[in-house]
Amino acid sequence: MTDMELRAFEAHLDIMVDQIGEESTELIIERPRYAHAVMVLSNGDEPGELLTASRIKVLDPIFIPIETANNGNQVFHQYCPERETAMSSQGGSAQCDDDIERALRKLEQSRNMLDEDEPELTAQSDVGIPIRRL
């Protein structure tokens, strides 16, 4: 595989991740949102993978509380992933790590739910459509 083909492969994955951000705005209420995309290139005639690429991207800016006033209001600094610099103190990096770990746990739980076996068929409806117990 040439270098140009590799760059095209990765560019296509980046485009897919950007589309996830646009399409999931209304689907995922919790903020910040994270995307973890994996793309695998394989040959149907031969076993194994030819190429695998993955991307993890923060889809929303992360706001980190830096101080709390006496009346309960908080002052926030925004982490800007495009510049890869945080405008907050060292205490904010622990919060970012917690957010990322929480998002990765949710991704793993989602993947585990997809991997679970199909529920057993328990009954038939009047029109002959199988009904599954959830």
Residues 6 or more apart in contact with residue 121 via CB below 8 angstroms: 130, 131, 132
pLDDT tens for residues 61-97? 766 656 665 666 666 655 554 444 434 444 455 666 7
Quick one: pLDDT at residue 83? 42
Q: How far is CA 74 from the centre of its chain?
A: 28
**Mean pLDDT, all residues of the chain:** 70
Q: Is 2 helix (H, G, I), strand (E, B) or coil?
A: coil
At 20, the amino acid letter reads I
The pLDDT-based confidence of 18 (bands split at 50, 70, 90) is confident
Q: Find where tokens 């009047």 sit.
A: 126
Mean pLDDT on 15-25: 86
